[in-house]
Structure 1
Amino acid sequence: MGIFGLGFGKRAAKALATADQLAIGSPWAPESDLKPMVIAEAFGLNTDQLPLTRDAAIKIPAVSKARNLLVSTIAKFPLRAMDGDEVLDAKAQPSFLYRTDTNVTPYERMAWTVDDLIFHGYSLWRVVRGAGNSPKGGPILSAEWVPRDKWSIKPDANVGHRLYIEDEPIDDLSQVILFNSPFEGLLTIASKTLKGARDLDASWVGRARNPIPLIELHVTDDSELTTDEIREFVQAWADARRSENGAIGYTPAGLEINVHGEVHADLMVEGRNAVRTDIGSFLNIRASMLDGTMGIDSLTYSTKEGEKNAFYEFDLPFWTDPIEARLSMDDVVPRGQRVRFDKYDAYHQPLDTGVPTED
């Protein structure tokens, strides 16, 4: 049976196939831009039209801040199975929720699951099941996160599309749990913003090395320098500007220094703050949680505690709800049960696993 018939859906198959073609890889190792460049050259595309890799995006400070905030917040919440409105007894909890059979801890497993959802929009766990029919496919004995570069969906002449983990075809989807985030992934939808943020970072670093934007070494007498002499003098001046004593320079007779244009310092500050706000908007995180500023009406009063509460109430569910919903399906826990994050220690909600809802 093909990937469509097994329940991934056309959107998942199309998006994941595209991600695989663009070499969106695992967070475990640095990624190369070589493959996207080769694809761009083959199809006559501008590389600016292709999404950045995760390795490039995570180097943007605003992205790292947002990613680290979500990952560190969500991964620390224990998972709890519930039957109706009651949390199952500790002995009745599915063991895969709080332990693994590898040296990867449940915290790390959830951390990289959230990371995948942020950057790619999808994440995959591989599971081992025991004998039985409850839940559907048998009880899950263990579950492990599969790094993004270890799995892909590829076209297949016989079944349309097929899932592969380390080049091994997976036809029985009861062996995996696919998580879908509420959007297509930061690398896809925020490509333009990410590239702008990267350019802005490069700009302020360059400005720090050369605070004066443009320097012209102007000859005022009749002396004529050869091309090599000009290059040598310009390089010497550039090297001197980057030295520890770069605020002091010397020009011989017949030369004067002309400075063209200035860049106000607040331009970089405002630009970098705008990037934080934009990244927060993509990831459903308020700017104040990313150490950015936000526009507040003169009649509006906001406190740190109020912002924290709003983050837990409005921002975080955008990420936790899809994970809870997927782990509450009948192929993960028996019908009638559901899985919720235990947020009590962090937020002290009236109920440690949230408001009761119908499964």
Structure 2
Amino acid sequence: MGILDRLGLTDKRMKALASTIDLTTRSPWITGEDRLTTIAVAKAIMPDGAKVEDFPLSREEALLIPAVSRARNLLVSTIAGFPLVALDKNGPLDSERQPTFLYRDDQQDTPYERMAGTVDDCLFYGRALWLLDRGAGDSPTFGPVLNGTWLPASKWTITNGHVMVDEQAVHESEYLLFNIPMYAGLLAVGDRTLRGARDTEVAWTDRIKNPVAALILRVTDSDAMPEGAEIEDFVNEWKSATRANGAAVGYVPEGVEMDTHMATDDSGLFIENRNAIRTDVGSHLNLRPSMIDGTSGIDSLTYTTKDGERNAFYDFDLPFWTKPIEAALSASKIVPRGQRVRFDQYDAYNPPIRTGVPTEE
């Protein structure tokens, strides 16, 4: 074994991490393989006349939506902050018996970054992948796991049931695949919601730039304005003038009157729409709206507290994401029979007790 092998930088690992395969856009029209595809493929199968705006959003575009960014940051920061611990029938293993790959990554990424990338991929694509390094054991192929490295979703795919890294099939002993019950990920199952959110974002920011909801130039004297293209030019000039910075004064020629229509309430900012987006994004991701700064749709007579919302988040929302990850890490090819891996959530349920000199309020 050479020094690169000792550092976890084998030829296979270096080749996989250096892969330049670009598979960043998911196509919901491809079935059976659930693979990422490029915009070129999506464009080829879209109907004639389809616009780029109709294509499924990429991860980067989805993160521009505040509700998605908030939900993603909440899930990633919460789950990645939980330590991983191995247990048997008697409870947690002692420190000498804990598998080192659970709390250490021999690559440049820290265990926190590894889990953050894993949760991020599961959220957007429904799957995540680790490359495994194994030591010598009773089985020639399934020796004890020494290290696990998260591989970004853009560097691998699944073809005909085989995991492909750098277009080469990988043996099942060399990877760990995480599957979330939503299967296809937010980019696919929430495609319409995300595109609606993007359009709503564009609409309300455009309204901020143009607070006048409608401006009508009404000709009162037919002889004052010529027919044809000059009218269109006149309208375009007014459109540019009203959108210019500091636009407040304009000139209306004789025979033309200007009518303006302003929004009389907050409908121009689409506040209800934007709150509904948070509810819908939360529904796709199994998150209650209050956790992503949305308004709950429960009956107004139902009393809830911050502690109650927090407990419900840990008891009902978070397990949707943590349980599949724990199940994958507890597979027989990862830990010995009779052992299982769980997130240590003790600190989440047992916040520290305040200490110090009591003070009167």
Normalising by structure 1, we get a TM-score of 0.81
Could you tell me how far apart the structure 2 residues matched to 1:47 and 1:220 are?
Answer: 42
Could you tell me how far apart the structure 2 residues matched to 1:220 and 1:19 are?
Answer: 61
Partner residue of 2:172? 173
Query: C-alpha displacement at 1:202, in angstroms?
Result: 1.1
1:194-273 correspondence runs (5 A): 194-221=194-221, 222-225=223-226, 229-259=230-260, 262=263, 264-266=265-267, 268-273=270-275
Work out whether 1:191 is the aligned partner of 2:166. no
Identity of aligned residues (%): 50
Query: C-alpha displacement at 1:318, in angstroms?
Result: 0.8
State which of 123, 146, 162 in structure 2 corresponds to 1:141. Answer: 146
- Please state whether the residue corresponding to 2:211 is helix, strand or coil: coil
Counterpart residue identity of residue 241, structure 1:
T
Could you tell me how far apart the structure 1 residues matched to 2:254 and 2:59 are?
Answer: 52
Pick closer, same or farther for the CA change 1:263–1:207 going to 2, 3 Å.
farther
Work out whether 1:109 is the aligned partner of 2:108. no
1:327-338 correspondence runs (5 A): 327-338=329-340
Checking the alignment, whether the CA contact within 8 Å between 1:125 and 1:145 is kept in structure 2 is yes
Pick closer, same or farther for the CA change 1:346–1:106 going to 2, 3 Å.
same
Could you tell me how far apart the structure 2 residues matched to 1:18 and 1:45 are?
Answer: 22
Partner residue of 1:19? 35
State which of 40, 45, 58 in structure 2 corresponds to 1:39. Answer: 45
Checking the alignment, whether the CA contact within 8 Å between 1:98 and 1:106 is kept in structure 2 is yes
- Please state whether the residue corresponding to 1:90 is helix, strand or coil: coil
Pick closer, same or farther for the CA change 1:162–1:324 going to 2, 3 Å.
closer
- Please state whether the residue corresponding to 1:142 is helix, strand or coil: strand
State which of 130, 136, 156 in structure 2 corresponds to 1:131. Answer: 136
The runs of 5 or more residues in structure 2 that have no matched partner are 1-29, 352-361
Counterpart residue identity of residue 350, structure 2:
H
Could you tell me how far apart the structure 2 residues matched to 1:103 and 1:128 are?
Answer: 15
Counting matched residue pairs gives 319
Counterpart residue identity of residue 216, structure 2:
E
Counterpart residue identity of residue 19, structure 1:
R
Could you tell me how far apart the structure 1 residues matched to 2:42 and 2:225 are?
Answer: 47
Query: C-alpha displacement at 1:176, in angstroms?
Result: 0.5
Checking the alignment, whether the CA contact within 8 Å between 2:114 and 2:150 is kept in structure 1 is yes
Query: C-alpha displacement at 1:238, in angstroms?
Result: 2.5
- Please state whether the residue corresponding to 1:331 is helix, strand or coil: coil
Query: C-alpha displacement at 1:214, in angstroms?
Result: 2.2
State which of 147, 155, 159 in structure 2 corresponds to 1:154. Answer: 159
Checking the alignment, whether the CA contact within 8 Å between 1:136 and 1:332 is kept in structure 2 is no
The runs of 5 or more residues in structure 1 that have no matched partner are 1-13, 24-32, 156-160, 350-359
Query: C-alpha displacement at 1:250, in angstroms?
Result: 3.3
Counterpart residue identity of residue 165, structure 1:
V
Partner residue of 1:340? 342
Query: C-alpha displacement at 1:228, in angstroms?
Result: 5.4
Q: Which moved more, 1:294-303 or 1:309-318?
A: 294-303
State which of 88, 91, 103 in structure 2 corresponds to 1:83. Answer: 88
Partner residue of 1:294? 296
Counterpart residue identity of residue 186, structure 2:
L
Pick closer, same or farther for the CA change 1:46–1:133 going to 2, 3 Å.
farther
Query: C-alpha displacement at 1:223, in angstroms?
Result: 2.4
Query: C-alpha displacement at 1:162, in angstroms?
Result: 3.0
Checking the alignment, whether the CA contact within 8 Å between 2:326 and 2:343 is kept in structure 1 is yes
- Please state whether the residue corresponding to 2:114 is helix, strand or coil: helix
Pick closer, same or farther for the CA change 1:179–1:307 going to 2, 3 Å.
same
Could you tell me how far apart the structure 2 residues matched to 1:195 and 1:113 are?
Answer: 25
Partner residue of 1:56? 61
- Please state whether the residue corresponding to 1:112 is helix, strand or coil: helix
Partner residue of 2:305? 303
Could you tell me how far apart the structure 2 residues matched to 1:135 and 1:343 are?
Answer: 35
Pick closer, same or farther for the CA change 1:182–1:135 going to 2, 3 Å.
farther
Checking the alignment, whether the CA contact within 8 Å between 1:133 and 1:139 is kept in structure 2 is no
Partner deviation per Cα, 1:306-335 (whole Å, 9 max, x = no partner): 111110111101100111111111111111
Query: C-alpha displacement at 1:46, in angstroms?
Result: 8.0
Note the aligned Cα RMSD (angstroms). Answer: 2.6
